[in-house]
């Protein structure tokens, strides 16, 4: 029998807890629950298992509780700093294969020099009705590519390596090609440079991912270069009306 609505409320069973079977009076108060004993037992047995992070209830930094303990082994760090003094800026905290990192950074140096040369040449020879605007953009990019190469070279030096700017091997070490384009075809020039930017965006992203947390300084250098490469690509896309 279906009771009138005002009587249904009176005949509803007392609320129960979430420990009841699914669908049976869900979302109810524990105070009225027949599992009070079980809840108490659960509370007692809720001590953290071995290996579980124990939240620090002390509110810090705007009320957020810190969950990790952090300790510096100053004694070990001091010993290692003194023993490996010949390594300069490279410490045991840098977990990368340094030789591999220097090799990759030298590829970046070569890539940036090739990009600098291509943009510089394009800025000089570009011709046509839109020459002024396009050449100005190429010249600006050429300057920034050279700065990228210098930043990568500085980092190689800090890591104890030698920046390789040997012209004889630049093209083979570069990620991008030095494409000869028709100076009167501004669209082709813009497209070739956009392709080159897209290549370095991809290879630099890969390098940043490979570095990960192992060398924050080199990663920041690469991330800052990567950010400017994406700006270059965006500038070229705008000029092409893409």
Closest CA to 112 of 206, 204, 237: 204
Q: Which one of 8-16, 31-39, 196-204, 211-219 is the stretch in contact with Fe ion (CB under 5 A)? A: 196-204
CB of 119 to Fe ion, least distance (A): 8
Nearer to Fe ion among residue 92 and residue 224 (C-beta): 224
CB of 121 to Fe ion, least distance (A): 15
**Contacts with Fe ion, 197-216, as mask; x by CB under 5 A:** x-------------------
Which letter does DSSP use for residue 138 in this model? H
Q: Which residue of 17, 126, 134, 145 would you call a contact of Fe ion, by CB under 5 A? A: 145
The answer to whether 148 contacts Fe ion (rule: CB under 5 A) is: yes
Q: Can you tell me the distance from the alpha carbon of 17 to that of 207, in angstroms, rounded to the nearest whole number?
A: 53
**CB–CB of 153/109 below 8 Å?**
yes
Q: How many residues bind Fe ion (CB under 5 A)?
A: 6
Site for Fe ion in 222-241 (CB under 5 A): 229, 232
Site for Fe ion in 83-122 (CB under 5 A): 112
Closest CA to 16 of 36, 44, 42: 36
Nearer to Fe ion among residue 137 and residue 229 (C-beta): 229
Q: Can you tell me the distance from the alpha carbon of 46 to that of 62, in angstroms, rounded to the nearest whole number?
A: 28
**CB–CB of 191/239 below 8 Å?**
no
**CB–CB of 174/114 below 8 Å?**
yes
How many other CB atoms sit within 10 Å of the CB of residue 122? 24
CB of 205 to Fe ion, least distance (A): 13
Question: Footprint of Fe ion on this chain (CB under 5 A)?
Answer: 112, 145, 148, 197, 229, 232
């Amino acid at each position: 029998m279906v009771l009138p609505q005002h009587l249904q409320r009176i005949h509803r069973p007392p609320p129960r807890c979430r420990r009841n079977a699914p669908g049976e009076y869900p979302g109810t108060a524990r105070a009225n629950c027949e599992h009070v004993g079980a809840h108490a037992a659960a509370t007692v047995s809720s001590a953290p298992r071995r290996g579980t992070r124990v939240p620090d209830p002390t509110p810090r930094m705007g009320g957020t509780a810190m969950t990790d303990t952090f300790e510096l082994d100053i004694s070990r760090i001091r010993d290692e700093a003194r023993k490996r003094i010949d390594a300069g800026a490279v410490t045991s905290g840098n977990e990368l294969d340094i030789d591999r990192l220097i090799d990759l950074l030298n590829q970046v140096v070569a890539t940036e020099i090739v990009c600098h040369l291509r943009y510089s040449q394009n800025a000089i020879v570009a011709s046509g009705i839109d020459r002024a605007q396009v050449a100005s953009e190429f010249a600006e990019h050429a300057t920034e590519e050279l700065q990228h190469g210098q930043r990568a070279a500085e980092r190689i030096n800090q890591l104890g390596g030698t920046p390789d700017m040997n012209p004889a091997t630049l093209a083979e070490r570069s990620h991008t090609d030095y494409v000869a384009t028709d100076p009167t075809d501004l669209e082709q020039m813009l497209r070739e440079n956009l392709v080159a930017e897209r290549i370095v965006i991809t290879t630099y992203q890969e390098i940043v991912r490979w570095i990960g947390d192992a060398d924050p300084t080199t990663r920041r250098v690469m991330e800052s270069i990567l950010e400017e490469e994406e700006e270059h690509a965006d500038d070229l896309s705008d000029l092409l009306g893409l």
